A and B are shown apart, each in its own frame.
Chain A
Amino acid sequence: MSDDLGYDLSQFKATYFEECAELLASAEETLSRLQDGSGTVEDLNAVFRCVHSIKGGAGAFSFDDLVHFAHVFETAMDALRSGRAEPSPQLAELLMRGNDVLGDFVRAAQEGVSLASDHGADILAQLAAITEGGPVAPLPAKAVAPQAAPAAPPPAVASVFKCYKIAFQPTLAMLRTGNDPLLMIRELAALGDLDVAVDRSRMPSLTEMDPQAAYLSWTFTLTTDKDRQAIADVFEFVDGDTATITIEEIQGAEEGDGWGLFAPLPTAAPAAGASQAGDVEGDGWGLFAPQSAPAAEQPAKPASVPATAAPTPAAAAGGQVHTTSIRVDLDKVDRLVNMVGELVITQAMLGQQAIGFSVESHPELIQGLQELSHHTRELQESVMAIRAQPVKALFSKAPRLVRDLSSKLGKQARLVMSGENTEVDKTVIEQLSDPLTHLIRNALDHGLETPEERMAVGKPTEGTIHLAAEHRSGRIIIEISDDGRGIDRKRVLEKAIDKGLVERGQQLTDEQVDMLIFAPGFSTASEVSDVSGRGVGMDVVRKNIQDVGGRVVVQSTPGAGSRFILSLPLTLAVMDGMLVAIGGQRYVLPLTNIVESLRPAAHQARFLVDVGDVLTLRGEYIRLIPLHRLFGIGNAITDPTRGLVVVVETEGGDRVGLLVDELLGQQQVVIKSLDANFRPVEGISAATILGDGRVALILDVGALRVMGERLTVHDRNAAAAE
C-alpha cells in the first residue's frame, strides 16, 4: 500500500495520527500508574500494545525513525512484562521519558520534519540496556520525586468488566416530569449486558390506578466495562429527585469466570506469545482490520451469560466481529450540530406560527408540533452527546504535572481526582486544558507550603490537591482545591492598591479581594516563578473560561487552602432559556440560573443604604438589579411591585433579583456567539434567533451581578456629590 499504487494516503495518515495521540495519552496515563506503584501487569501489557500499535502504523507509512524507536521501546516493555527486567522508580521514569520521545517522533512524522539524528539517543540506549537486563542509570535533567519502590505487580490482572446490581425505584410522580424508565433502561442496556427484573408489587388495580403514575420498579444486573459514573449518568436527571437509585458492584464478572472473550494475558508471557498478542493489536488501528474474524478465533460465549434486554444485531449474528465506534471527522459533526441548531430555530418558528391555534380546532397540527418539539430535543441531545467527551482526557495530564512540579519545588503533594468520566463538549475540553494546567501549577507553587512549613503549622507534610468534575444544574463544575496556605488577602490587597486596581480605603469583601487575583495586570512576569508563570496570568485563565461561556470563582480560607470552581456549559450550541421582556425588548435568561420569579409586595421591595434596592425574601436580602437601567431601555417597568423579579443564582452561589416587565415563556435557544459575530458586550453572554426571526440577547447572570454592584456604587457616589 503506497502512493505508487494510486492511493491517497493522507486520509489514512490523519486517522493514524489521531490514533497515535490517543495511544500516547493512554500510555502516559498508564505509565503514571506504574510510576506511583499502583500499576498491574495488565498496565504493562497496555503500554506495550500502545507502542506496538504506533509502530505498526508507522511501518505502513515508512516512518523509519519512529519505527526504530518504537521497536526498542516495545522490546524493553516486553522484557519488563516477561520479568527479564526489574521494575523500579527509575525504570518507570525512563518509560515515561520514552513515551515523550515517542511522541516527538510521532509529531515529527506528522509535520513531515526530521529530528536531530541523536534525538532521544540517551533514552534509546537505556531502553536497549533494559532488554539486555542491564541496570537503569539515573536520568539527567528531570529529577525523580523520591518515592517508595512500587510493589511487585500483582499476579492477577484486573478485570475490565464489572458487574453491577442497580435498584431503580421511581417515585409515583416521575412519569409526569417527562422522564420515562423505558428510555433509561434502553440507555442502560447500551452500556453492556443487562438483565432486567421488574417489581410490580406497587401495581394497583385498573380502577385504582393513576395512569400517569409510576408503579413499576426494577432491579438490573449489568455487566459492563463502563464505570459506576457511566451508570449514574443514565439516571442523572431523576436520581434523588423523582427516583431512588442504588448502584452496587457485585462479584461475577471477573475475567476467566466464563466469558472467555477477554482472557487475561499471562503474567509472564514468553516473548513469542507477547509479540503474537501485539500483532493482533498492531493491525487494529482501524484501517486495515478485517471485517470478520474466523469463527475459531472467537471464543464462544457461554450460556451462563445473562440475557440481554436488547440484544445487538451483531450478538445475534453469532460471533461476528463488530465495531462499537467509528471515527468521524469533527467538521462533519459540527455541520450536524449547526443543522440541528437551525432545526431548533425552525421548530420555534413553527411553534410561533401556531400560537393562535387551539388543540380543539387543530388537534393534529398541535400534536404534530408537540411531536416535532420532542423529536427535535431528542435529536439535539443525541447530537450533543456525539461531541461529548469525558474530562478524563484533560485530567490524565495532571498526575504527571503534580509529580514533576512537586519534585521540582521540593514539596510533597498528593493528587486526588474524582469524576474523570464526566462528559463535556469537546471544545470546552480543549479550551480548558491551559487554564487547568495553570491552576494546578498555581496550587502547587503558591498554594501548598513546603513540608517544613506544613509541619510547623501542624499539617501533614504531604499536601493534597483535589481535582474534581461533576454535572450540576445542566453545567459542568470543575474544582481544583488544595489544603495549602490559602490566599493572603492582605498581600493581595496591597498589591492591588499598588497597581491601582483598588483605591486605598476602598472597602472590599473577602470574596472581592480573592477575585482580585483575576484582575488584568495583577500578575506580572517578574513576580511569578517559572513554574506558575508561563505568560498565562490568572486573568487569561478567567478569559479562556469566559470564552466558552464559563465562569471561575475562588473560595479561600487562610491557612486551610483555596478552591477554584470552574463552571462551564455542557455544550456551546443550545440551551434552555426563559424569554423575558424589558420595555419592549426581549432577552433570554439561562434556565439553569433561575431560582424563582415573583411579583414582590410593597413591603418586600426596600431600599438599603450602601446596598440599594433589595428584595426581602424569606428573611433574606436579595440585591435588585434594574436591567432597564443597565441596558438603557426606555418604557420599562421601574417599580418592582408592578413588574416581576426573577431571582437568579450565580456560580458562586450568590443570588440577585433581576427586574423585568414580564416572562414570555421557556424555550430552547440556539447560542450564537456575540464575540464572533459582533463584539463582546458586558452583561451579555451570547445571542439567539427567536421563532419570529428577531435576535434576542442572552444575559450573563454573573456579569449582571457585578454590573449591579457597580451601579450601586455609582448611585452612592452621585448622591454624595449632590
Chain B
Amino acid sequence: MEIKDNNGRLEVELPGIVDLIAAGELRDLMLDALAKDSAADLILRGQAVDRICTAAIQVILAGVPAFRTAARRLEIEDATHMLEASFRQLGLGEDFDNFLVIA
C-alpha cells in the first residue's frame, strides 16, 4: 500500500486482503498522511477488498477522529460489498454510513 496524490486528493488503494499486517501498514500510512503539510483528505479506495480483518477496521475507525481533528476527512470510496458488510457485522454500520462513504 502507498499514498498517491491524485489531483490534491491523497489516495490509498486497499489490497484484496486487509489482514493484520496490512492493518499495521494502514496505520503507518494514515499517520504519514496526517504528518504531511497538507489539508488534503485521505481516501481509502476499497474496490479490491475481498477480506478485511477487525484490526484493520479498528485502524480505520481510529483514523476518522484523527483526521477530523486535523480538519480533514478520512473516507472510503468504492467499497466492495464485503468491506461494507464487515463494518455492519461488527456493529459499525452507522459509522460506515455517516463518516466513511463518499456518496
A→B interface (CB under 8 Å): 175-176, 180-182, 185-186, 189, 196-198, 200, 203-207, 209, 211-216, 218, 309-310, 371
User: Beyond the given A182-B57, A185-B89, A211-B24, could you list 13 further A-B residue pairs with CB under 8 A, ordered by the A residue number?
Assistant: A175-B20, A181-B54, A186-B89, A198-B90, A198-B92, A203-B58, A203-B62, A204-B62, A206-B31, A209-B58, A209-B59, A213-B55, A309-B91
Select which of B31, B57, B89 is within 8 A of A196 by beta carbon.
B89
Q: Is the CB of B62 within 8 A of A182?
A: no
Q: State which residues 51-103 of B face A: CB under 8 Å.
A: 52-59, 61-63, 65-66, 85-86, 88-92
Q: Is the CB of A175 within 8 A of B55?
A: yes
Q: In whole angstroms, what is the CA distance A216 to B95 when docked?
A: 14
Q: In whole angstroms, what is the CA distance A371 to B89 when docked?
A: 23
Q: In whole angstroms, what is the CA distance A314 to B90 when docked?
A: 22
Q: Closest approach, in angstroms, between the C-beta of A377 and any C-beta of chain B?
A: 14
Q: Secondary structure at chain A's binding surface: helix, strand, loop or mixed?
A: loop
Q: Is the CB of B61 within 8 A of A212?
A: no
Q: Is the CB of A185 within 8 A of B62?
A: no
Q: Is the CB of A216 within 8 A of B90?
A: yes
Q: Closest approach, in angstroms, between the C-beta of B92 and any C-beta of chain A?
A: 6
Select which of B26, B59, B66, B90 is within 8 A of A181 by beta carbon.
B90
Indicate the size class of the contact surface on chain B: 20 to 34
Q: Is the CB of A206 within 8 A of B62?
A: yes
Select which of A186, A212, A218 is within 8 A of B91 by beta carbon.
A218
Select which of B34, B59, B85 is within 8 A of A211 by beta carbon.
B59
Please give, as numbers and ranges, the residues of chain A lying within 8 Å of B65 by CB-CB distance.
205-206
Can you give 18 contacting A-B residue pairs, CB < 8 Å? Answer: A175-B55, A176-B20, A180-B55, A185-B89, A185-B90, A196-B89, A198-B90, A203-B58, A203-B61, A205-B66, A211-B20, A211-B23, A212-B55, A218-B91, A309-B88, A309-B89, A310-B88, A371-B17
Please tell me if B30 contacts chain A, counting CB pairs below 8 Å: yes
Report B22-66 CB contacts with A as 1/0, cut-off 8 Å.
011011001100100000000000000000111111110111011
Q: Which A residue's beta carbon lies closest to that of B22?
A: A211
Please give, as numbers and ranges, the residues of chain A lying within 8 Å of B17 by CB-CB distance.
371
Please give, as numbers and ranges, the residues of chain A lying within 8 Å of B85 by CB-CB distance.
310
Q: Is the CB of B59 within 8 A of A206?
A: yes
Q: In whole angstroms, what is the CA distance A198 to B34 when docked?
A: 27
Q: Is the CB of A209 within 8 A of B27?
A: yes
Please give, as numbers and ranges, the residues of chain A lying within 8 Å of B54 by CB-CB distance.
175, 180-182, 214, 216
Most chain B beta carbons < 10 A, residue from A200, A205, A211:
A211
Q: Closest approach, in angstroms, between the C-beta of B99 and any C-beta of chain A?
A: 13
Q: In whole angstroms, what is the CA distance A637 to B34 when docked?
A: 58
Most chain B beta carbons < 10 A, residue from A175, A182, A197, A203:
A182
Q: In whole angstroms, what is the CA distance A175 to B54 when docked?
A: 8
Q: Is the CB of A182 within 8 A of B90?
A: yes
Q: Is the CB of A211 within 8 A of B26?
A: yes
Q: In whole angstroms, what is the CA distance A218 to B58 when docked?
A: 13
Q: Which 9 A-B pairs have the closest CB atoms?
A: A198-B91, A196-B91, A206-B66, A211-B24, A206-B62, A211-B27, A211-B23, A182-B54, A181-B54
Please give, as numbers and ranges, the residues of chain B lying within 8 Å of A212 by CB-CB distance.
20, 23-24, 55
Please give, as numbers and ranges, the residues of chain B lying within 8 Å of A198 by CB-CB distance.
90-92
Q: Which A residue's beta carbon lies closest to that of B21?
A: A212
Q: In whole angstroms, what is the CA distance A307 to B38 when docked?
A: 41
Q: Is the CB of A207 within 8 A of B66?
A: yes
Q: Is the CB of A180 within 8 A of B53?
A: yes
Q: Is the CB of A206 within 8 A of B55?
A: no
Q: In whole angstroms, what is the CA distance A200 to B58 when docked?
A: 9
Please give, as numbers and ranges, the residues of chain B lying within 8 Å of A309 by CB-CB distance.
88-89, 91
Q: In whole angstroms, what is the CA distance A657 to B2 when docked?
A: 50
Q: Is the CB of A205 within 8 A of B90?
A: no
Please give, as numbers and ranges, the residues of chain B lying within 8 Å of A180 by CB-CB distance.
53-55
Please give, as numbers and ranges, the residues of chain A lying within 8 Å of B30 by CB-CB distance.
206
Q: Closest approach, in angstroms, between the C-beta of A196 and any C-beta of chain B?
A: 4
Q: In whole angstroms, what is the CA distance A189 to B91 when docked?
A: 12
Q: In whole angstroms, what is the CA distance A348 to B49 when docked?
A: 27
Please give, as numbers and ranges, the residues of chain A lying within 8 Å of B24 by CB-CB distance.
211-212
Q: Which A residue's beta carbon lies closest to that of B55?
A: A175
Q: Is the CB of A216 within 8 A of B62?
A: no
Q: Is the CB of A310 within 8 A of B89?
A: yes
Known: A196-B91, A198-B91, A309-B88. A209 touches B53 (CB 8 A): no
Q: Closest approach, in angstroms, between the C-beta of B83 and any C-beta of chain A?
A: 12
Q: Is the CB of B88 within 8 A of A182?
A: no
Please give, as numbers and ranges, the residues of chain B lying within 8 Å of A181 by CB-CB distance.
54, 90
Q: In whole angstroms, what is the CA distance A501 to B82 when docked?
A: 65
Q: Which A residue's beta carbon lies closest to that of B24?
A: A211
Please give, as numbers and ranges, the residues of chain A lying within 8 Å of B23 by CB-CB distance.
211-212
Q: In whole angstroms, what is the CA distance A315 to B26 when docked?
A: 36
Q: Which B residue's beta carbon lies closest to that of A188?
A: B89
Q: Closest approach, in angstroms, between the C-beta of A569 and any C-beta of chain B?
A: 30
Please give, as numbers and ranges, the residues of chain A lying within 8 Å of B59 by CB-CB distance.
206, 209, 211
Q: Closest approach, in angstroms, between the C-beta of A494 and any C-beta of chain B?
A: 62
Q: In whole angstroms, what is the CA distance A206 to B24 when docked?
A: 11
Please give, as numbers and ranges, the residues of chain A lying within 8 Å of B27 by CB-CB distance.
206, 209, 211
Q: Which B residue's beta carbon lies closest to that of A204?
A: B62
Please give, as numbers and ranges, the residues of chain B lying within 8 Å of A211 by CB-CB distance.
20, 23-24, 26-27, 55-56, 58-59
Q: In whole angstroms, what is the CA distance A649 to B29 when docked?
A: 47
Please give, as numbers and ranges, the residues of chain A lying within 8 Å of B20 by CB-CB distance.
175-176, 211-212
Q: Which A residue's beta carbon lies closest to that of B64?
A: A206
Please give, as numbers and ranges, the residues of chain B lying within 8 Å of A189 by CB-CB distance.
89
Select which of A176, A182, A200, A213 is within 8 A of B61 by beta carbon.
A200
Q: Closest approach, in angstroms, between the C-beta of B35 and any C-beta of chain A?
A: 10
Q: Which A residue's beta carbon lies closest to that of B56?
A: A211
Please give, as numbers and ranges, the residues of chain B lying within 8 Å of A207 by CB-CB distance.
31, 66
Select which of A185, A196, A216 is within 8 A of B58 by beta carbon.
A216
Please give, as numbers and ranges, the residues of chain B lying within 8 Å of A205 by CB-CB distance.
62, 65-66
Q: In whole angstroms, what is the CA distance A207 to B65 when docked?
A: 11
Q: Closest approach, in angstroms, between the C-beta of A189 and any C-beta of chain B?
A: 7
Q: Which B residue's beta carbon lies closest to that of A215?
A: B58
Please give, as numbers and ranges, the residues of chain B lying within 8 Å of A200 by CB-CB distance.
61
Q: In whole angstroms, what is the CA distance A702 to B59 when docked?
A: 47
Q: Is the CB of A209 within 8 A of B90?
A: no
Q: Is the CB of B66 within 8 A of A196?
A: no
Q: In whole angstroms, what is the CA distance A185 to B93 when docked?
A: 14
